[in-house]
Amino acid sequence: MFITEILNALQFSMTLFLLSVGLTIVFGLMKIVNLAHGTLYMLGAYIGLSIWTFSDSFWLAFVFAPIATAILGALLYKVLFKFIQRVDPMRQVLLTFGLIYIGLDSVRLIWGSMSHSITTPELFSNPINIFGETYPTYRLFVILVGITVLLILYFVLEKTKMGAMVRASVDDHETSQMLGINTEKILFYTFSLGCGLAGLAGVTVAPIVGVEAGMDMEVLVLTLIVVVVGGPGSLKGALIGSLLIGFVDTFGKVFFPELALITIYAAMALILIFKPGGMYSRL
């Protein structure tokens, strides 16, 4: 039972990590909170659903749904986000708030208001026995996806020239621009990548939580909390924040169901009051 819960918490943390990492870097770069990030997660799940229905292959969905959301993200950036960088925070937030409605309705119009589910791929259909407890293999796969993405991002951000430029832009936007770094291009790619990762999160959890309109709202606030608690713009912050929120949420629901969410929100409020930039702030 205990190991199951730990693994569940880890799986949820990794989903949150996939969601929050894109958001946090975009926040770090543009100082914009994209409330529609959850919408891309939902779209990832729905697009995955369609690909899965037509091709009968989860793996095609797993590969192409994130690419589709990344392209959607790129479009969003080109038609909207590019132009709202100098707008005041309220307008930015409300613009992305409007996108939530559009996302919800589009999903309802295209896929209907019924909830759907995706069958777990053949490969992971049998549960595994860990220390005497049976555990669904697919959830282990989700954890693996999260860790893989984490390692790749860490490598790219810390070891490559592109990563160094991203970090520099997060730390000091103006100076990097003066140094000749094409921040515009960096923004474009990181934004699209972030949206792609949100889509990846959506399609990977679809076999676990199902696909339905409104699944975006369930994760949105938690993702925002991860970003704020971890410190906007920080990969490490996103990881630690995801683990923290993932574990508190999972174990909280088991041990004191009444207080779980409240604890999380209270933690966020306290961190914001005493450490306004988050735990690992790069701002």
Partner 1 sequence: MNAVQYDKKLRLQLFIILCCSAIFVNIFGDYFTRFLLSEIIILSLFAMSLDFLAGRGGMISLGHAMFLGIGAYSTAILFINFNIDPFLCSLLAVVIGLIIGYLIGFIIVKTDGIFFIMITLALGEMFHSWAYTNDFLGGSDGISGILRPKLLGMDLNEPLFFSYYLLILLILVYAFLAAVTDSPLGRNLDAIRQNSGRVLSLGGSVKLYKSASFGISAAIASLAGSLYAQLNGFVSPEISHWTVSGEGLIMIIVGGIGSLSGAILGAVVVHIIQHEFSKLVDWWMLLMGGGFILVVLFLKEGLWGLILKFKNYIIENK
The residues binding partner 1 (CB under 8 A) are 31, 33, 35, 80, 83-84, 88-91, 93-95, 97-106, 108-109, 217, 221, 224-225, 228, 257-259, 261-262, 265-266, 268-269, 272-273, 276
In the bound state with partner 1, the residue whose beta carbon lies nearer, of 54 and 97, is: 97
Q: How far is the CB of 55 from partner 1 (least distance, A)?
A: 28
What's the min distance (Å) between Cβ of 56 and partner 1?
30
- Whole-angstrom distance, CA of residue 159 vs CA of residue 191: 20
DSSP 96-152: HHHHHHHHHHHHHHHH-SS-B--PPPGGG-S-EEETTEEE-HHHHHHHHHHHHHHHH
Shortest Å distance, C-beta 139 to partner 1: 25
Q: Which is nearer to partner 1, 56 or 172 (CB)?
A: 172
Can you tell me the distance from the alpha carbon of 143 to that of 14, in angstroms, rounded to the nearest whole number? 6
Angle at 92 between CA 87 and CA 154, to 5 degrees: 105
Q: How far is the CB of 87 from partner 1 (least distance, A)?
A: 8
Shortest approach of partner 1 to residue 233 CB, angstroms? 12
Q: Shortest distance, CB of residue 25 to partner 1, whole angstroms?
A: 15
280: Cα separation from own chain's centroid: 18
Nearer of residues 123 and 276 to partner 1, judged by Cβ: 276
DSSP string, 212-280: -TTHHHHHHHHHHHHHHHH-TT-HHHHHHHHHHHHHHHHHHHHH-TTTHHHHHHHHHHHHHHH-TT-TT
Q: Which is nearer to partner 1, 33 or 150 (CB)?
A: 33
Q: Give the H or E element holding residue 63.
A: helix 58-79
Report how far apart, in Å, the C-alpha atoms of 218 and of each of 210, 213, 223 are: 13, 10, 9
Q: In the complex with partner 1, which residue's Cβ is closer, 105 or 122? A: 105
Least distance from partner 1 to the Cβ atom of residue 89, Å: 5
Nearer to partner 1, 62 or 81 (CB): 81
**Nearer to partner 1 by C-beta: 151 or 266?**
266
